[in-house]
Amino acid sequence: MTIKSHERILMTGAAGNLGKQMRTRLKANCSQLRLSDRLAFDGDAQAGEEIMLADLADAQAVMRLVEGVDAIVHFGGVSVEGPFNPILNANIIGIVNLYEAARQHGVKRVVFASSNHVTGFYRQSETIGVDSAPRPDGFYGLSKAFGEDVARFYFDRYGIETACVRIGSSFPEPKDRRMLATWLSFDDLHRLITACLTTPVLGWSVIYGMSNNAVTWWDNTGARHIGYVPQDSADVFRDAVYARTTAPDLGDPAVQFQGGGFVKMGPFPG
């Protein structure tokens, strides 16, 4: 049973792919779920919901957005690799605005949707832990590494606890052989968020967002204090994935490095 741990939780990026999946699930974690995105939603607020639109780059709008909440699940921002300026506004300026608003309004717990692309330039032949140094594979991964540093600064100085969840590949099922290592089911994502919201002492923590996959490049041993226990696995899809895909080209950087195709994107026009 999911613990209703907070009165009002803010979820940014609520109109995005993962936000849509978590919208119903996260209502079990709180009495009121405040949903936010930069763009309009499909449909009106349902029971136990409230909707507030805000551009993360607008500090005053974010300040209003955070007022009255006691925890934040931050999915907002640009979620793919691309030109720097949109990532700068949403992911870099936006994360500073969010934490400054959290500080001023006394919010003490944040679940930050970081990304596996923070460590995308480690090789697929390596296993890395939660203490491994960032090796971003592009502007997007760089922005998420910056966000993790912002979260650590606001913990060290102001005591705002954050789980930096380096999400792997969260889809209904793995799309290719790489995702057999990185896949995170939607239900496991909710289990992970719930663990981050309810663990007694969170501190500033990094944890990889993955299901219980036999093949993995990530070791979450250093984040056991969070209490996340995945229940799903990419392994049940292995035969089907192999049947519809070809053997990997070991000379392809997308196969050599954990970030996959992101390591080859760009440069982008000014």
Residues with Cβ within 8 Å of 213's Cβ and at least 6 positions away in sequence, in order, are 180, 181, 182, 183, 233, 234, 235
pLDDT digits (tens, 9 = 90+) for 179-229: 999 999 999 999 999 999 999 999 999 999 999 999 999 999 999 999 999
Higher pLDDT, 175 or 40: 175
Decide if pLDDT at 169 tops 90.
Answer: yes
- pLDDT reported for residue 1: 64
pLDDT digits (tens, 9 = 90+) for 42-65: 788 999 999 999 999 999 999 999
Other C-beta atoms lying within 10 Å of the C-beta of residue 141: 26
CA distance linking residue 162 with residue 118, whole number of Å: 16
The pLDDT-based confidence of 39 (bands split at 50, 70, 90) is confident
Dihedral angle at the C-alpha atoms of 13, 59, 107, 80, nearest 10 degrees? 30
The pLDDT-based confidence of 230 (bands split at 50, 70, 90) is very high
Helices 139-158, 94-105: inter-axial angle, 10-degree rounding: 20
Q: Which of 99, 140, 208, 228 is the catalytic position? A: 140
CA distance linking residue 126 with residue 122, whole number of Å: 7
Domains recognised in the chain with CATH numbers: 6-264 (3.40.50.720)
DSSP 29: G
Structure token pair of residue 150? 């912002």
Decide if pLDDT at 3 tops 90.
Answer: no
Burial class (CB in 10 A: 0-12, 13-18, 19+), 41: middle
**208 catalytic per annotation:** no
CA distance linking residue 237 with residue 12, whole number of Å: 31
pLDDT digits (tens, 9 = 90+) for 97-141: 999 999 999 999 999 999 999 999 999 999 999 999 999 999 999
The pLDDT-based confidence of 250 (bands split at 50, 70, 90) is very high
Q: What is 101-122 written as a DSSP string?
A: HHHHHT--EEEEEEEGGGGTTS
The pLDDT-based confidence of 270 (bands split at 50, 70, 90) is low
Pairing mode, strands 71-74 and 128-129: unpaired
The one-letter amino acid code at 17 reads N
Angle at Cα 192 formed by Cα 134 and Cα 12, nearest 5°? 80
